[in-house]
Amino acid sequence: MPSKKQKFDDINTFENCFQYTCFNAQNSFALKGKWKQNYFKNNNPIVIELGCGQGEYTIGLAQQYKNINYIGVDMKGNRLWTGANQAIQRNLTNVAFIRTTIDCITHCFDENEVSEIWITFPDPNVEKPRTRKRLTNPIFLNKYQCILIPNGLIHLKTDNLSFYNYTLEVLKELECKIHSNTNDLYQHNPTNKEELTSIKTYYETLFFKQGFTIKYVCFELNKNKKQQLNC
């Protein structure tokens, strides 16, 4: 297994991996608005995984759906290396990764450029002062709305009950449309999506083995509740 330093060096050479700070992204991220034509070379929908870690969902979905483009986003370069390297080894041309913070997401994608978002086992930031860092906080939801197509779906999987309940409360307050949800996915899969249970992240596997139930919600943002943002 390569060292952490070697992984960071590798990422700089991976053609499917891009590293951007918010400063760089604000100063013309070349692929913003041009992912399909300049990177994927097709007109297929783009789905992103936020906080993708080792990219289990990005890779798993890309293998199942070759007619969809997938992009994993995470700040941890040594984790991102795993997914990017697997994509290269498996010759997955419908995969890319961005090393950046989720705060920068509107600098990486243009309006209506993303068809769907997956948020898989993010840090629940359970302490109340860290509420603003939760990836389903209205601040982040507003950013997602800037890049999603109309009626674009967002999927959340988590083991944390308080984070799951918090998300449901936010969605209710914003009058978002919930398509499906469950507080125990492996006892009740509310959809026909096989990937909900067939693909497991590192943290999902860890928490599930410890006896935690897996929560899931699929929702659509309310465009009428969108705040003013420079998308």
Distant-in-sequence, close-in-space partners of 44: CB < 8 Å, separation ≥ 6 = 36, 67, 68, 69, 94
Cβ 21 vs Cβ 100: under 8 Å:
yes
**What is the Cα–Cα distance from 148 to 94, expressed in whole angstroms?**
19
- Active-site entry in 9, 123, 159, 184: 123
Q: Catalytic site residue 123?
A: yes
For the chain, give the DSSP string. Answer: ---HHHHHHHHTT-TTEEE--HHHHHTT-TTTTTIIIIII-S---EEEEET-TTTHHHHHHHHH-TTSEEEEEES-HHHHHHHHHHHHHTT-TTEEEEES-GGGHHHHS-TT-EEEEEEES-----SGGGGGGSTTSHHHHHHHHHHEEEEEEEEEEES-HHHHHHHHHHHHHTTPEEEEEES-TTT---SS-THHHH---HHHHHHHHTTPPPEEEEEE--GGGPPP---
List residues with catalytic annotation.
Answer: 123
